[in-house]
Amino acid sequence: MRKQINVVAAIIHDGEGRVFATQRGYGEWKDYWEFPGGKIEPGECAEEALRREIWEELETRIVIERLEATVEYDYPKFHLTMRCYLCRIESGSLTLKEHEAARWLSMRELESVGWLPADWGLVKTLKDTMNKEERYRLLTKQIRALTDGETDAVAVMANVCAAIHGAMGFFWTGFYRVKEGALLLGPFQGPVACTHIGFGCGVCGTAWERRETMVVPDVEQFPGHIACSSQSRSEIVVPVFSREGEVVAVLDIDSKERSTFDDIDRRYLEEICRMVKL
């Protein structure tokens, strides 16, 4: 039976689209690059192990934001399971205690170093994820500029959905406004859509009723889904709140692909909806 080794790795980011990589200075894989981390010791949970390893290797305290990926890889002598967490620096200066070199790498530079075999499995996933975040960061800056000082609700919604649609390339992007006890179609980008949606009906009505973001990986599996287009496969709906805390609209986005939307979409679209003052 192949030996099993469980490790953790830190994807330490700087908030500007770069991640921290280290170069091994010892052993069979000397000079190869990796995301810092190490083995989970008996009695430790994964996050405890990661905090300990980063302190031992880099004399740095980290804030663990989320589990980004789990990599499974077969080395010649063992099977590796690597839990990879997105992190940021809380304190410390990333002092190298075990590695021979380190670099901050942009997404374009990720493939410029020779990674350990298991870490290559993370690079593509990370590029896709961070590229999405980079697009959202630029998008939120654009939308902040577009909405700052604008008081006309229709103008705000029109520019916001146009900016999102153009930057992210979704199938359908638009707003539904709360009016006379129902959701009424507002400014949108994409094919024609349903005009009225009832409270608690479909994904949009459910987001309104629950006052929370709805992420639906497969719309065909959502009870009571309203099929405005047969091409829609996944959906995210984010409520827009008034200054008094009432839901006054929802931002509805559809994709032609299943499982398009994730926590990154949710976080940034909620931030965008907080900029929309209706």
Domains of the chain and any CATH numbers: 3-131 (3.90.79.10), 149-275 (3.30.450.40)
What mean pLDDT do residues 35-54 have? 97
Task: Say how far apart CA 112 and CA 120 lie, in whole Å.
Answer: 12
- What confidence score (pLDDT) does residue 137 get? 87
- What confidence score (pLDDT) does residue 228 get? 87
What mean pLDDT do residues 121-129 have? 82
Q: Does pLDDT of 2 surpass 90?
A: no
Does the predicted model carry a pTM greater than 0.85?
A: no
Q: Are 96 and 21 in contact (CB under 8 A)?
A: no
Q: Are 254 and 169 in contact (CB under 8 A)?
A: no
147-192 pLDDT tens trace: 999 999 999 999 999 999 988 889 999 999 999 999 999 999 999 9
188-229 pLDDT tens trace: 999 999 999 999 999 999 999 999 999 999 999 999 999 888
What mean pLDDT do residues 122-126 have? 85
> 78-92 and 172-179: which strand pairing?
unpaired
Residue 134 is encoded by which pair of tokens?
Answer: 């980079």
